[in-house]
Structures are given as C-alpha cells and as structure tokens.
C-alpha cells in the first residue's frame, strides 16, 4: 500500500537516480535523523486509545512510507477493520515534520465523498500517532496493474470516471492532490475506487501565491511544477493523463533510465504512443498531457470526451479483474450498444447520421446498413416465424416460455404456441423435456455427449490433481459471447473468428472470418451460402444484426483463453444448436458435438469435443490457461475435485436443457 510513500523535497545538484526510483515518490532527498543501526522498539499488538479507552489489534503491514507504516487495525469491540497509518513520534520530532502531519489530518478529516478514502479517527500515545482510515481490501491500482500488466479500455473508463468524480470534489473544495498515481488509488471489497494519501495535498492558492516546491512522483510531475511555476488544478489533470497512459500501456509515458532524461521529456511533453491504442484514447491522453496547462481539458470535459461517450463503461467490475482480464459478456453493455444500433437503423434520418458519424468504425461497404427503412417488427425474423407456423402444422409444437423478447405479438397465444424452433433450444431452455424431440439431430448430439460424460464421472477414481498425461490439440470453441435474446438472439464468436447468431425464431446465421461470407441455417444441416453484399432481401435485416453482434464483440470483448485455432476444412462448419444459462454458468452445444460450459464467477471453462473418434476435455482456468486431456485418461487417473465438480455441473446442465 503506497498510501504513505511521498515527501516534499528541494532538488539540488543530484542528477543520478536509479531506474526504480522514477516511479516512487520524491523521498530520496530526505535525511534520516535516527541511527540506522539502532533497532526501533517492537510495537505492541494491542493498541489502546488513551482518550476513549478503545482497544485495537494490530494486524499485517499494508504499506510503508517515508515517515510511517500502514497496518490493518481491528477494533476489538466491533471487529471493524481499519487501515491505520502509524507514525512514530521519533520520525516527526522536528516542528515542520509535525506540522505536515497535523496539516494532513486537518485536511483529510474534512473530506466526505464516496470516491475519497474515508478518514475515521486519529489519536496518539507516548510512542506513535495513529490515523484510522477506510480499509480497502483489494489494495491499489498499482497492485492490480502489477498483476495484470495492462488494463482494457472499459476498465480504464470505469476507474477514470471514479477518479474524476473524487478529484472534482477535491477541486471544488479548493484542494490539490499533487500526488496522483496508481499507488494512491485504492480499491475496496466491492471494486469501488477511493482516492487516498493526502500527504502532499494543499489548498489551491491564487496564481501569484502558488506553491513552487517540486513535490510528487517524478514520472507524474507536470512541466509547470518542474519549472517552478506553481501547482494548479491543471497539474492534477496532467498526472491523470499519466495515470491513464500507464493503465492502458503498463508504463508511465515519460519513463526513462535516469531522472535528468525523464525531466527533459516532461518539459518537452515528449512521449511515444503505440498504434495499438485506440484513436479516442490517444486523443484524450494527448489533451491531458498538453505542455501548456491552459490547453488541458477540465474534469467535466474529460468525461464528455469521445473516449467515454463512444465506448461502454461497466457498471461494476468483478473482483477477478484484480488478477485477470474481465470477460465483458454481461448484457447491460450489450443492451446499451444495441439500443444505439437499433436507433440508428430504424429511427429517423438524424439518428442514423449521428450514430454513423460517432461510430466511424464500420467499413465503407457497411454503409448500406444505415439505409435500411424497414421496421424491426416487420423484419424477416417475424415473417419467417409466421411461415414456420403454416408450414409445420403436422409437427408437435414447442412452446417457448420463460424468456422475454421473442419477436411475436404478446397478445397472440396461438402464434406463440406454434412457433417452431428449427434449431433446438433457441432461448436456452424449453418448457419441458417432452418437447425436446429426442429423435432429432440435436437430441442425438446431446445424448451422445451426455452418455460419454456420465460414464466418465461414474467410473472415474478420486484424485487430488490433474493427470500427468496431457496433450496438444486444436479445435473450434467459443471465445466471446453476448446474450441479447430479449430482442434478437444469442451471439458468439468462435476461435477462428467466425461469428454466429442463434436468432429468437430458431434460425442460425454465421459470418465467416473473411467478414464477407454468410452461412444461413433454416433447418438442421441445410445451409444456404451468400455474401453480405448480395444477401437476399428477406435476410438483409438479419445480416445487419449479425454485423452488429460481430462489431460489438470485436470492439468490446476479450478472448476467453489461450487455445490456438486451426480450422480443419474437412470437418463441417460449427454452428450452435442450443444454449442454456443458469445462475452459475452458460452451456453451449454445437452441431458436431462440441460442448462448452463457461462459469461466470471465475471465468473458467470446460470444453468437450470429439477428435479422431476420441473425446477430449479441455479445462481453461481463471488465468485463461488451457489444459487438454483425453477423457480416457481422466477415466483411468481421475482429476482434481475442482474439475470434477465442474464436470458434474456441466452434465446436469446438459440433462436439464429441456426441463
């Protein structure tokens, strides 16, 4: 925890500095008054507030700073845990040192905002000063970035919005933070960000009276601070630009091997931006890192920038983001995206033009999308549903229940009851097992996978670990998915970059990796092939929706594992037969028997496929690392309890697919 690691310094003639110092606060100029060979007395585990009589138990060290250490501190009467900044009196013996601590306490205790670390209490005894602060169990953004290396743009938007919210509150209180960096942004148990460490914070002064002391962390200092022109709100915005750059690319923009060169780059606002960074991200970083403070955006202008308005921001991040990249499959971002898409497609001319101008990412051959004038309710999806009703009267009906958004009129029970699901399981689960048509191709596929998996689980011995015998394999699997069945259907991307949509009427459409060829399945095994440019009129709207799914997943979702993909052209094309969601996992069953289950809470995955007449099981762990076994090997050797539990859950989902 870097909450304490900052101190003001006055630079003199020192030019040399080791590389690792550049990302640490400027404490290298501080002189230690105590004898380093003299060990400090051991601090008591039980600490008593002499004023209130409350007792606290000191726990593990959270961080170290120039003056103090930060510990977990538990109130023994309430069990409430605090982050306690403990400062020995011996370290603040000089008047100016004690004044600094008192100033920090006075400033911090008056702050109350959801994105500011909360100040609870302070007291002191004969040995130490104790400052009790809000405990953030997930440490800081610095720890997250150390584990992750880089963050995704949706995560960066999520964190930046909260930083800006807290920073705006500070500036409204006429307070400058003056040491914004990843180590001073703390994350609590619910993944809320809190701005902390006010050791260098100061009141905003008029221009002529501004502080001209150089303080902060070298890599995040602004040109005007280095040039001793004083601190203003613009200096915090500069540091925020450095923070954004660091989150996206894993290193600060002005990082070099020595302090002198770093300062030269900062004064010249000279840094490099790789082409991998999105256009909007580059533009926002460039504006915040403008050499002239007056050219930098205000905090309100930052959150109105296209980087925020043209990309989705998650409402909440899962705790797994602290150590692994998120899998943005939740429906809320998708809903926002498709809501805009639908408005552009089927709204008025102004909405179409505005959306097209803002999006700016589709290829020119997609411009025809924006010329569509059909009402979505009259699209081929609904038309084909009506057609199915009249053509298949001789077949027993399959009632669709429990899912919103089927594209038929709500008040027509007869239509709703007679719609056929040509590709079984369109909406994830049927109403009862009797309607699953077990003699269909889908039933045969599911039965085959189920028998093999059940046989393995019933005969597999108990074991504590994975078998030693593992193998390399390549097959198609789902790397990304979007559930938008309340309007259109279920979309997914395969590892060869084919995108498929299982529409709400039971038809299936795939956009191949060339982004030009479409495969359309109206019945199992019967495929129609056409290009996106020459789609039959009755399929134009479905192709449009398919493209939106493809674009959304390409721009916003990350791949779910490290498996390679080698397309075997001798095998039939993979397409989805059925999907099912529970409160714990997503199940997907494909035409060739490939069976995949994604677990939400830790992003682990199980994939079962048949290759060369042999069933294989691949397990992708929470770090997105895959391991493949023969089911025969698991049958003989067993596997870990964790994997067995997932296999049992997957089998139950397969058995319940029509319940």
How does residue 227 score in pLDDT terms, banded at 50, 70 and 90?
confident
Q: What pLDDT, in 10s, does the model give residues 568-593?
A: 555 668 899 889 888 889 999 998 88
Annotation says 179 is catalytic: yes
98 has pLDDT over 60: yes
Which residue did the predictor score with more confidence, 27 or 179? 179
DSSP character string of 559-580 = ----------TTSPPP-EEEEE
Provide the pLDDT for residue 498. Answer: 93
Q: What pLDDT, in 10s, does the model give residues 490-529?
A: 999 998 899 999 998 888 999 998 899 999 987 655 788 9
376 has pLDDT over 60: no
Provide the pLDDT for residue 582. Answer: 85
Provide the pLDDT for residue 468. Answer: 75
Provide the pLDDT for residue 439. Answer: 35
Question: With contact defined as beta carbons under 8 Å apart, do 386 and 415 qualify?
Answer: yes
3-state helix, strand and coil shares in percent for the chain, rounded to the nearest 5? 35, 20, 45
Q: What pLDDT, in 10s, does the model give residues 327-352?
A: 774 444 444 544 555 554 445 555 54
Provide the pLDDT for residue 96. Answer: 87
Which residue did the predictor score with more confidence, 50 or 420? 50
Q: DSSP label at 455?
A: H
Question: With contact defined as beta carbons under 8 Å apart, do 239 and 181 qualify?
Answer: yes
**Top-confidence range, 22-31, 39-48, 530-539:** 530-539
Which residue did the predictor score with more confidence, 512 or 311? 512
Question: Among the options 179, 197, 236, 366, which is catalytic?
Answer: 179
pLDDT > 70 fraction of the chain, expressed in percent and rounded? 71
What does each C-alpha distance from 546 to 405, 482, 490, 502, 635 come to in angstroms?
A: 17, 12, 10, 10, 40
* Average pLDDT taken over every residue of the chain: 76
Name residues whose C-beta falls within 8 Å of residue 378's C-beta, 6 or more positions apart in sequence. none
Provide the pLDDT for residue 332. Answer: 43
Least confident segment among 10-19, 233-242, 437-446, 628-637:
10-19
Average pLDDT on 316-332 reads 77
Provide the pLDDT for residue 229. Answer: 83
What angle in degrees, to the nearest 10, is found between the helix axes of 349-359 and 331-346?
130
**Residues placed in the known binding site for ATP:** 94
In order of their start, the domains of the chain are 19-31+44-134 (3.30.200.20), 141-322 (1.10.510.10), 327-659 (3.30.1120.30)
567 has pLDDT over 60: no
Least confident segment among 270-279, 406-415, 541-550:
406-415
How does residue 630 score in pLDDT terms, banded at 50, 70 and 90?
confident
**Top-confidence range, 13-17, 468-472, 643-647:** 643-647
Provide the pLDDT for residue 23. Answer: 52
pLDDT > 90 fraction of the chain, expressed in percent and rounded? 41
What is the C-alpha separation between 594 and 574, in angstroms, rounded? 9
Closest CA to 7 of 35, 23, 27: 27
Which residue did the predictor score with more confidence, 57 or 623? 57
Q: What pLDDT, in 10s, does the model give residues 117-144?
A: 999 999 999 999 999 999 999 999 999 9
Provide the pLDDT for residue 653. Answer: 86
3-state secondary structure of 241: helix
């Amino acid at each position: 925890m870097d909450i304490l690691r900052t101190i003001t310094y006055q630079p003199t003639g020192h030019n040399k500095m080791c590389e690792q110092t550049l990302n640490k606060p400027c404490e290298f100029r501080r002189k230690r008054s105590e004898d380093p060979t003299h060990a400090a007395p051991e601090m008591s585990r039980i600490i008593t507030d002499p004023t209130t009589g409350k007792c606290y138990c000191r726990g593990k060290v959270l961080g170290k700073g120039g003056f103090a250490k930060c510990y977990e501190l538990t109130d023994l009467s309430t069990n409430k845990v605090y982050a306690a900044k403990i400062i020995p009196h011996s370290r603040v013996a000089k008047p100016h040192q004690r004044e600094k601590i008192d100033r920090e306490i006075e400033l911090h205790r008056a702050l109350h905002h959801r994105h500011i670390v909360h100040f609870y209490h302070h007291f002191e005894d004969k040995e130490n000063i104790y400052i009790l602060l809000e405990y953030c169990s997930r440490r800081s953004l610095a720890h997250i970035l150390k584990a992750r290396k880089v963050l995704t743009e949706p995560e960066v938007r999520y964190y930046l919005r909260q930083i800006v919210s807290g920073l705006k509150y500070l500036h409204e209180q006429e307070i400058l933070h003056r040491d914004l960096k990843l180590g001073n942004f703390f994350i609590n148990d619910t993944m809320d960000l809190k701005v902390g460490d006010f050791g260098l914070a100061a009141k905003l002064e008029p221009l002529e009276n501004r502080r001209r002391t150089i303080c902060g962390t070298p890599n995040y200092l602004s040109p005007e601070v280095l040039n001793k022109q004083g601190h203003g709100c613009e200096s915090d915005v500069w540091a925020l630009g450095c923070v954004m750059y660091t989150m996206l690319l894993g290193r600060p923009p002005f990082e070099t091997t020595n302090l002198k060169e770093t300062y030269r780059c900062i004064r010249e606002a000279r840094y490099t931006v790789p082409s991998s960074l999105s256009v909007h991200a580059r533009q926002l970083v460039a504006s915040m890192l403008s050499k002239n403070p007056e050219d930098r955006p205000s905090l309100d202008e930052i959150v109105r920038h296209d980087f925020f308005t043209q990309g989705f921001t998650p409402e909440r991040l899962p705790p797994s983001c602290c150590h692994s990249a998120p899998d943005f499959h939740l429906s809320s971002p998708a809903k926002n995206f498709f809501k805009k898409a639908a408005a552009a497609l089927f709204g008025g001319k102004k909405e179409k033009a505005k959306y097209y101008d803002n999006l700016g990412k589709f290829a020119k051959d997609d411009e025809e999308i924006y010329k569509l004038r059909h009402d979505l309710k009259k699209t081929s999806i609904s038309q084909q549903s009506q057609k199915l009703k009249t053509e298949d009267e001789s077949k027993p009906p399959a009632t669709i229940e429990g899912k919103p958004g089927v594209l038929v009129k709500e008040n027509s029970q007869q239509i709703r009851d007679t719609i056929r699901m040509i590709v079984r399981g369109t909406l994830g689960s049927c109403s009862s097992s009797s309607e699953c048509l077990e003699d269909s191709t889908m039933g045969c596929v599911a039965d085959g996978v189920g028998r093999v998996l059940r046989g393995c689980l019933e005969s597999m011995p108990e074991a504590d670990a994975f078998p030693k015998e593992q193998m390399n394999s390549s097959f198609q699997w789902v790397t990304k998915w979007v559930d938008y069945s309340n309007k259109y259907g279920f979309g997914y991307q395969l590892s060869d970059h084919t995108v498929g949509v299982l529409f709400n009427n039971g038809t299936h459409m795939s956009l191949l990796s060339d982004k030009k060829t479409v495969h359309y399945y109206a019945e199992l095994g019967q495929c129609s092939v056409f290009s996106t440019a020459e789609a039959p009129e009755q399929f134009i709207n479905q192709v449009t929706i398919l493209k939106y799914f493809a674009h959304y997943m390409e721009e916003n979702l990350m791949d779910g594992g490290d498996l390679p993909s080698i397309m075997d052209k001798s095998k039939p094309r993979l397409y989805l037969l059925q999907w099912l969601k529970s409160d714990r996992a997503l199940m997907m069953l494909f035409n060739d028997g490939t069976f995949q289950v994604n677990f939400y809470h830790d992003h682990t995955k199980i994939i079962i496929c048949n290759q060369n007449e042999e069933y294989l099981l691949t397990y992708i762990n929470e770090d997105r690392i895959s391991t493949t076994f023969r089911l025969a090997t698991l049958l003989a050797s067993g596997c870990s309890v964790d994997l067995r539990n997932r296999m049992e859950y997957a089998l139950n989902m397969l058995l319940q697919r029509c319940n």
